[in-house]
Amino acid sequence: MEFISEQLLSYCETHTTAEDELLQLISRETHAKVLMPRMLSGHLQGKTLELFTKMQKPKVVLEIGTYTGYSAICMARGLETNAKLITLDINDELEEMVRSFFEKSGLSSQIEYKLGNAMDIIPSLDEKFDMVFIDADKKNYSNYYDLVIDKVNSGGLIMADNVLWSGKVLKDSSEKIDKDTKAIMDFNDMVNADPRVENVLFPIRDGILMARKL
């Protein structure tokens, strides 16, 4: 994930609106108590998601992959008062921690936290979405996209995290490619070829792919 030097990353973060105490707490607690803390969105990506949300002014946001709630809180902070965020996660072991963070954020009334398999939950949702953020198991990225695309309003955004996959997407067919890398590469190609959207891939953190539904 180190695509730029530590010095340049520090400069970017220094010139990004600072994390408040709650986001700093989530980061500390995640690194201290949870496996694979690198999955946390973090400062630069979190503020990016918040600003995208403020610019999009969505009525309903769907997040696939809550983890410890950092990105959900960032997006919820970008919501207008009559809007909501639905966030899905399969790991019920983190539920108590995540709900405590949502309560501390003061935004729990706008965050609908659902536990279970997203592949089962998404088809049961009646809402239409103005924004979707995919940040869950990589093997199902294409499946999640297929499940949500018809539920996204025209002009809505679908964003996916980790689409550069620590640079592994640059591997060619002569190299051994693991299943997660292949899933990400296939997802990126699928979205890029989808005539229903226009898209851009940002080299932010581990890569964010944004697709706007036409």
Q: In sequence order, what are the beta bridge partners of 184? A: none
Any idea how long the chain is? Answer: 214
Q: Please state the φ and ψ torsions of residue 63, each to the nearest 5 degrees.
A: -115, 130
Return the pLDDT at 200.
Answer: 98
Predicted local confidence at residue 104, as pLDDT: 98
- At residue 49's C-alpha, the angle toward residues 10 and 38, to 5°, is 55
In this prediction, residue 43 carries a pLDDT of 94
Contacts of 79 (CB under 8 A, 6+ apart): 53, 58, 61, 85, 107, 110
With pLDDT > 70 as the criterion, what percentage of the chain qualifies?
Answer: 99
Q: Tell me if 25 is assigned to some domain.
A: yes
Q: Which domain holds residue 85?
A: 6-213
pLDDT, residue 12, reads 93
Q: Which residues are bridge partners to 113 per DSSP?
A: 87
Do the bridges between strand 208-213 and strand 152-161 make them parallel or antiparallel, or are there none, so unpaired? antiparallel
Say what the pLDDT of residue 173 is: 74
Give how many domains the chain has, as a whole number.
1
Residue 2 — very low, low, confident or very high, per pLDDT cuts 50/70/90? Answer: low
Which residues are bridge partners to 211 per DSSP? 158, 199
Report d(CA 132, CA 86) in Å as an integer: 9
* pLDDT greater than 80 at residue 42: yes
Q: Band the pLDDT of 38: cuts 50, 70, 90.
A: confident
Give the Cα separation of 54 and 157 in Å (integer).
13
Q: Work out the pLDDT band at 171, boundaries 50, 70, 90.
A: confident
Domain CATH number, residue 58: 3.40.50.150
Q: What is the pTM of this model?
A: 0.96
- Give the number of other Cβ atoms within 10 Å of residue 149's Cβ: 18
Q: Look at 95-99, 132-136, 137-141, 170-174 and tell me which has the smallest mean pLDDT.
A: 170-174
| Confidence bin at 178 (pLDDT 50/70/90) | very high
Among candidate residues 173, 159, 157, 171, the one with its CA nearest the CA of residue 205: 159
Look at residue 1 in the predicted model and tell me its pLDDT: 58
User: Which amino acid, residue 20?
Assistant: D
Do the domain assignments include residue 144?
yes
pLDDT band, residue 148 (cuts 50/70/90): very high
Is 1 within a domain? Answer: no
pLDDT value of residue 39: 87
pLDDT at 78: 98
